[in-house]
Structure 1
Amino acid sequence: MTTTGTRGRLSVQDWLEAGFSLLAEAGRPALTIDRLCAQLGVTKGSFYWHFTGMAGYRSALIEAWAQQRGRELPIHRAGPDHPPRERLSMMTEALLHPRHWKLERAMREWARTDPAVAASVTAGDRRARKAVRQAFLDLGFEAAEADLRAQLTFAAGMGFLQMANNSAHPMPVAQRERVLDFMTRP
């Protein structure tokens, strides 16, 4: 399940990926040293080699998620050379990708009780809404209309995320594209 560091030992990234996996499958309560060690098949000594305790581990996990979220969502990387409609489609696809949506939901749930996670989620949401708004501006909508459509599109995406339950594919591609067609219609 894991890849190891250059010397055959677990890396910090291995520990973070194990945490993401536990979060996605069982939520924040699953983040315990015992569960992490069981997931990786190692002793607690390995955990403490990399982290001073769970507080430090959680901080590293939150930071890694924020960085990963920015890299994974193609709309954050897609420049103006991508057509605006394509950027919106890329964002929707990334949000509802099976690898992403369970972890996204778990992080949002965790954010309800942890200010550091809430700040990370809020910052990521701000970047996403800005990118969505820009796509609508690039489609030729006036600023006020772009703001409204961006808010509605973002809210719809969050709603679809919550409705996903445990489906491997929470929303078929054709349906996602129909929603985007509706949202981008003049």
Structure 2
Amino acid sequence: MAKGRAGGGRLSVDDWIQAGYALVADEGLEALKVDRLCTRLGVTKGSFYWHFKDMAGYRAALVQAWGELRDTDRSHFGELGHLPPRERLARMMASLLGERHWTLERAMREWARIDPVVADSVRAADHLVLRAVRQTFQDAGFDGEDADVRANATFAAGIGFLHLSDSPPGTYADMQDRFLDLMLAR
């Protein structure tokens, strides 16, 4: 049975997407090739072409699925409004910097540097996050301009956490707590 095969039967589009995520996260965008995907899944190229017209179509499906995954990961932000601002920010950071997707997040941001379609997807997702973070700073009592500065700095620091380490940012919980204390200080 191939790795990643749902239920042991025929591979699904999602199996291919998950294999692509794993490959990009583990080895970078350069490794995203039909041969490498087939090896990872233990199947022939025919299986790939059964699901996708070509590598461009596969990459487009991968980007779309990643955007949907990000939207799902961030969909709960609206449900956090009842929490105190500090706790809300901590939960957002945990979601954005959690171990679940941190290597994939880094890889997709690198891909966005060279692909305008990926860049658009990243920008759209980032806009939603920034809006939620800005609102949280406003709820903490900061005016519009201060909320903007703090939201942008918090977001930039989160991206920095992604790129500064080879270990998941969640391992830096103390540093993240101190960072939130600093951003919420008056």
Question: By the TM > 0.5 criterion, same fold?
Answer: yes
In 2, are the aligned partners of 1:160 and 1:170 still within 8 Å (CA)? no
> What is the rounded CA distance, in whole Å, between the counterparts of 1:19 and 1:77 in structure 2?
30
Identity %: 52
In 2, are the aligned partners of 1:75 and 1:91 still within 8 Å (CA)? no
CA 1:33–1:110: 2 relative to 1, 3 Å:
same
Residue in 1 aligned with 2:182? 182
Deviations along 1:57-114, whole A, 9 cap, x unmatched? Answer: 0000001001101212465353422332222111211222222111111001111111
In 1, are the aligned partners of 2:85 and 2:139 still within 8 Å (CA)? yes
In 2, are the aligned partners of 1:74 and 1:91 still within 8 Å (CA)? no
The one-letter amino acid paired with 2:184 is: T
In 2, are the aligned partners of 1:137 and 1:143 still within 8 Å (CA)? yes
2:138 is equivalent to residue 137 of structure 1: yes
Using structure 2 for the length normalisation, give the TM-score: 0.92
Q: Which moved more, 1:73-82 or 1:27-36?
A: 73-82
2:138 is equivalent to residue 120 of structure 1: no
In 1, are the aligned partners of 2:102 and 2:168 still within 8 Å (CA)? no
> What is the rounded CA distance, in whole Å, between the counterparts of 2:93 and 2:80 in structure 1?
16
In 1, are the aligned partners of 2:85 and 2:136 still within 8 Å (CA)? yes
Which residues of 2 match residues 19-168 of structure 1 at below 5 A?
A: 19-73=20-74, 76-164=77-165, 166-168=166-168
CA 1:143–1:75: 2 relative to 1, 3 Å:
farther
Deviations along 1:31-57, whole A, 9 cap, x unmatched? Answer: 100011111111111111111111110
In 1, are the aligned partners of 2:81 and 2:88 still within 8 Å (CA)? no
The one-letter amino acid paired with 1:9 is: R
Larger fraction in helix? 2
In 1, are the aligned partners of 2:154 and 2:183 still within 8 Å (CA)? yes
In 2, are the aligned partners of 1:72 and 1:94 still within 8 Å (CA)? yes
Count of equivalent residues: 184
Using structure 1 for the length normalisation, give the TM-score: 0.92
> What is the rounded CA distance, in whole Å, between the counterparts of 2:65 and 2:78 in structure 1?
17
Report deviation, 1:162. Answer: 1.0
Structure 2, unpaired ranges of 5+: none
